[in-house]
Amino acid sequence: MKQFILLFIFALALVSCKQETKSNLETADLIVANAKVAVMDTDKTITEAIAVKNGKVIATGSTQEILKLKNENTKIIDAKGRTLIPGLNDSHLHLTRGGRFFNAELRWDGVKSLRTALQMLKEQAARTPKGQWVRVIGGWSPFQFEEKRFPTPQEINEATGDVPTYILYLYSRAWLNQAGLDVLGIDENTKAPKGSTFEKGANGKLTGVLLAEPNPSILYARIGALPALSEDEMVNSTKQFYRELNSLGITSGIDAGGGGHKFPKNYTGTKLLADAGEMPIRLSYYLFPQNKGAEYAEFQDWMANNKVGHNGEIHLDHGYELEGGGEFLAWSAGDFENFLAPQPLLEDRPTWRDDFKKIIRLHVDNGWPFRIHATYGETIANMLDVIEEINKETNGKLASERWMFDHAETVTENELKRIKALNGGIAIQARMAYAGEFFVERYGADKAKQAPPVKKIMEMGIPLGAGTDGTRVASYNPWPALYWLISGKTVGGLQLSEASNLLSREEALYLYTKGSAWVSKEEDVKGTLEKGMYADFTILSEDYFTIPEKQINNLKAVLTVVGGTVVYGDEEYQFMNPQLPEVIPNWSPVKYYGGYQHK
């Protein structure tokens, strides 16, 4: 009798299990059918449909198979043959800062002629109220213009008149019009920070050009002097910027902090959205010290009051999370990506080694991941000497947390071997796409062929993520960055990389999905569309895998989904586009031009 009861209970359990499995399969919240779904798994699976439940992928397969998982409550989207890929994840994008300033900035990203750029400048000056500025804060290259040159101070003054104006090109140089010089009280007697210059003409008068040689403090200071948006405007600005990213297929971004961007004060726009459960993008952030000479104290304070993986309250899983320290750790140990100026050397800063070691050791001792800004191989080699010392002193504790170098344009094979031995990773960005011509002019075309050596890094099995470094030293648009990885060309069309350093479209997309997920220790939840992964994906305007190579630059999203929820819709999916508040303030360039210029 006892045996019979046990068998009966076992049978009931099997039936219950089967019913539960069937129930789970039949209750997909969302199905996208009739698509070209790139799962991005190790088998490079391409299939037709995807099913989502509770924000995660429950199945991919043929449209016929996946439609069996619907019920009366399932939302079904017909992709009409379009390509669907995992959501893009920018592993080095200044998201919170980008959102903080987006509504105040006129974007030249994607503008095809200087003539058009100057006309935009003129129109914006006409609508900018007294007390405000016209500002173009990076994201462009003179080589993207048909004219292949910078604007002249005279052209900028003619376009803007008596409205103060500031234009930034990467962290290399900037232009102030005469009204801007007057408002800031800059004249021929104003002293520039060491390693920078207020340019003067042959007549001894200021031209309005600010030169970082290579110290960008002269540029940072002028940005910091510009009037800020109000809190309401900043929250609105953040919403507009994140929608802009969603429109390009971005569902995740890893924030690398930034100069002049203080935590937690300047993170308000994003924090308010996260607290309200309104984040349309998953954001991981690293903390960047602001006080030169007091970085160690800043990190001590942050580590005492913040927990990696959270920020006080627990927000939506992997929606808004603190990851660690960087990209700058010690200002004395920073090099700069200004290829218009000579390479900076750590040896010229006698305190760099002690400053750097102390802060890295603090991170290792507290179990905090870290990332390090380093443009040049020589910088990386010097830093590795210190990191190897710390690893030895802590009996290999370094390898227990994620750490990586950012940028690494001229890293060598020897340095890569050392990084691999220490279990480190690398995050590369498309800075060469916007400054490659100046790199070639200074260092030669041969050195540009492997700058950075992306293919070699992948072949060596070093974890690698891709990104833009937007919004200042490159555009935030991921598609020109993907085009650069695939073609090796700048936005101006100059061939930089040699054939052995070019990626296939699948390889480049991997770096922007699964590769970037490694950077924030999230490869187990995002980066592919396999079962159990977050349902973060985008349907593209054209087929990334088959369109002519140059057209990759023009790709956009027509539908973007984060956690199974539609966060952006365009064209035939416009009706699904979540409502966004009207852009404020009324004079905002975003209201009149949008962000990236596709025309």
pLDDT in tens, 548-557: 999 999 999 9
Report the C-alpha gap between 504 and 549 in whole angstroms: 11
Report the C-alpha gap between 527 and 243 in whole angstroms: 20
Give the mean model confidence (pLDDT) for residues 278-296. 96
Instruction: Give pLDDT, residue 291.
Output: 93
**Residue 26: pLDDT band by 50, 70, 90 thresholds?**
low
Report the C-alpha gap between 415 and 378 in whole angstroms: 9
Instruction: Give pLDDT, residue 317.
Output: 62
The per-residue pLDDT for range 471-525, each reduced to its tens digit, is 999 999 999 999 999 999 999 999 999 999 999 999 999 999 999 999 999 999 9
Q: Output the CA angle 467-99-108, nearest 5 degrees.
A: 70
Which residues fall within 8 angstroms of residue 6, CB to CB, at 6 or more apart? none
Report the C-alpha gap between 322 and 367 in whole angstroms: 13
Give the mean model confidence (pLDDT) for residues 244-266. 96
399 has a pLDDT exceeding 60: yes
pTM above 0.85?
Answer: yes
Mean pLDDT of the chain: 94
The first and second tokens of residue 585, run together, are 């303030």
25 has a pLDDT exceeding 70: no
Percent of the chain with pLDDT over 90: 91
- Asked whether 272 and 236 are in contact (CB, 8 A), the reply is no
Instruction: Give pLDDT, residue 318.
Output: 65
Report the C-alpha gap between 269 and 99 in whole angstroms: 7
Comparing 401 with 130, which gets the higher pLDDT?
A: 130
**Residue 309: pLDDT band by 50, 70, 90 thresholds?**
confident
Q: CB neighbours (10 Å) of residue 148?
A: 13
The per-residue pLDDT for range 406-444, each reduced to its tens digit, is 999 999 999 999 999 999 999 999 999 999 999 999 999
Report the C-alpha gap between 124 and 128 in whole angstroms: 6
Q: Report the SS3 class of residue 326.
A: coil
4 has a pLDDT exceeding 70: no
* DSSP string of 370-430, one letter each residue: EEEEE-SHHHHHHHHHHHHHHHHHTTTGGGGS-EEEEE-TT--HHHHHHHHHTT-EEEEET
315 has a pLDDT exceeding 90: no
Beta bridge partners of 404: 371, 425
Give the mean model confidence (pLDDT) for residues 272-296. 95
Most confident region among 8-17, 304-313, 582-591 by mean pLDDT: 582-591
400 has a pLDDT exceeding 90: no
